[in-house]
């Protein structure tokens, strides 16, 4: 990246809690300027105040919101597409997955990351920056009930794969962080089982190391 440490800028989606917030804390501690977004305005603004970051609450599936985020960071070194939608819970089998819910899943988990990449690529190319797309082992594993979510993550992985081939001036990593003790996992499997998963702060530290070391574009797993 061409900027000095003190001027590097990142956009992080889904930044009000879980992995997004943990990564924001890690990058802020290293001097990054942050533009944070999530749907919950109160939690997001609390996080931004803690980290002296810019908070832009909203839904990443809204094209106008994507434009607001890109405009807030005309010089950009890192885009982290972390926001995800789990869909209906308890997780339904594919036979029972409402198609409108599946369309909403794709809008958040596939279309929105692509839209943000498209909107920020000019700045990322100029900075020789990077994109992190947070994915899941559900993209490749056949877990009952995870078909809708997993299909979206599989699509995000292939978008990332092709984007990496098409954008030689930008690093593109699609990262399977493994199971983390987050509200999303608790919603899917219950709070008791989720409590046994990894601390998002530990995963964020590994993700920060990835961003700092800048390996070649590709799939990364922290499993």
DSSP string, 3-57: S-GGG-EEEEESTTSHHHHHHHHHHHHTT-EEEEE-S-HHHHHHHHHHHT-EE--
The neighbour count for residue 158, using CB atoms within 10 Å, is 12
Q: Note if 143 is an active site residue.
A: no
Compute the C-alpha angle 97/191/57, nearest 5°.
Answer: 70
Active-site option among 32, 102, 149, 173: 149
Tokens of 201: 């702060």
138: DSSP letter: G
Q: Are strands 130-134 and 78-81 parallel, antiparallel or unpaired?
A: parallel
> Are the beta carbons of 222 and 203 closer than 8 angstroms?
yes
| Active site amino acids | 149
């Amino acid at each position: 990246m061409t900027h000095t440490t003190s001027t590097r800028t990142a956009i992080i989606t889904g930044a009000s809690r879980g992995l997004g917030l943990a990564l924001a804390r890690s990058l802020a501690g290293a001097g990054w300027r942050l533009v944070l977004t999530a749907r919950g305005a109160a939690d997001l603004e609390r996080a931004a105040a803690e980290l002296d970051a810019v908070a832009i609450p909203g839904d990443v599936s809204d094209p106008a919101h994507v434009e607001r985020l890109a405009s807030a960071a005309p010089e950009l070194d890192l885009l982290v597409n972390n926001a995800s939608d789990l869909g209906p819970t308890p997780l339904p089998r594919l036979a029972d997955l409402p198609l409108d819910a599946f369309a909403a899943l794709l809008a958040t988990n596939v279309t929105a990351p692509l839209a943000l990449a498209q909107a920020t690529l000019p700045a990322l190319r100029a900075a020789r920056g990077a994109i992190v797309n947070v994915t899941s082992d559900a993209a490749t594993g056949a877990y009952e009930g995870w078909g809708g979510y997993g299909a979206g993550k599989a699509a995000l992985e292939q978008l990332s794969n092709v984007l990496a081939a098409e954008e030689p001036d930008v690093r593109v990593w699609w990262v399977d962080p493994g199971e983390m003790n987050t509200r999303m996992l608790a919603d899917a499997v219950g709070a008791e089982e989720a409590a046994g998963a990894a601390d998002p702060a530990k995963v964020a530290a590994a993700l920060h190391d990835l961003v700092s070391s800048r390996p070649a574009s590709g799939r990364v797993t922290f499993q």
